[in-house]
Chain A
């Protein structure tokens, strides 16, 4: 396992913590493309992180070398999807409506981490802000906003109020 400074230590000391973490992992494992990328959930002090281990197949530019921009896009979208789904009381599978990703620094061929912040979780939609970084969390390499649609059915809405 790679080291990521402070965050890694927090993760290793958080063995007994919450039930959210296995949930995220289970949600990710249901996505064939997330399995293909090798995404894995880690629990840090500030919440749940998604880790993208680097491997040769993910490199978009061998000259630099740098990760493919699409791989970062996938990390952001899938992190947002799992975050929105884990917040939903019925873990409905959200549909990604749109995503807007800004690339801030070059993505080197190394481990990448993503953290999701839910801007708003509504009844029908969820807006999630995702930040990606490599070594230093204070130097993000990309940020993205993902808008998701939660499938609505009258029965499901009834259920929500029961929780």
Chain B
């Protein structure tokens, strides 16, 4: 997976298909789970792009809709957008397309928890300092 671009609140990632990513022996169709991984990775990066800082995050949930089969002859592009950000949560939308084609292959909506470890660190950190 390569990162193509990072703008404020939006990330584009690219994945070149390999034969081990296919969903069946006899077809050159990429397994949906590969698209899932791509959406999860791009979504996580979009949280950082939206927050403009690096903090530990955790995926709370991710919902994928697979609109079309993904052919293995072209690279996949994932465009993940941070739709809304609160102190604790980030809402991400991600579209997956074939390179050079405008038709959507899959869409994803994900919720990420922000500052997952940071909060624990802060909560316990002060006490430890004074102790």
Q: Say which one of B4-12, B14-22, B82-90, B123-131 lies at the interface with A.
A: B14-22
B104, CB-defined interface residue at 8 Å = no
A-side contacts of B23, CB under 8 Å: 31-33
Chain B contacts with A in 54-68, Cβ cutoff 8 A: 58-66
Q: Does A101 contact B (CB under 8 A)?
A: yes
Question: Which residues of B are found within 8 Å of A70, using beta-carbon distances?
Answer: 33, 36-41
B40 partner residues in chain A, CB cutoff 8 A: 68-70, 73
B37 contact from A68, A78, A93, A102, Cβ within 8 A:
A68
Q: A31-B23, A32-B19, A36-B20 are in contact. Are A69 and B62 (CB under 8 A)?
A: yes
Residue contact B25 to A96, C-beta cutoff 8 Å: no
What residues of chain A lie closer than 8 Å to B22, measured between beta carbons?
32-33
Is the beta-carbon distance between A100 and B63 smaller than 8 angstroms? Answer: yes
Tell me whether B21 and A33 are in contact (CB under 8 A). yes
Kindly state whether residue B34 has any CB partner on chain A within 8 Å: yes
Question: Does A152 make an interface contact (CB < 8 A)?
Answer: no
Q: With both chains docked as a complex, state the minimum distance between the C-beta of B71 and any C-beta of chain A, in angstroms.
A: 14
The answer to whether B20 and A74 touch across the interface, beta carbons within 8 angstroms, is no
Interface flag for B74 (CB, 8 Å): no
| Interfacial residues, chain B to chain A (CB-CB below 8 A) | 19-25, 31-34, 36-41, 44, 58-66, 69
10 contacts between A and B (CB under 8 A): A30-B24, A33-B21, A33-B23, A35-B20, A71-B37, A73-B33, A99-B32, A100-B64, A103-B58, A103-B62
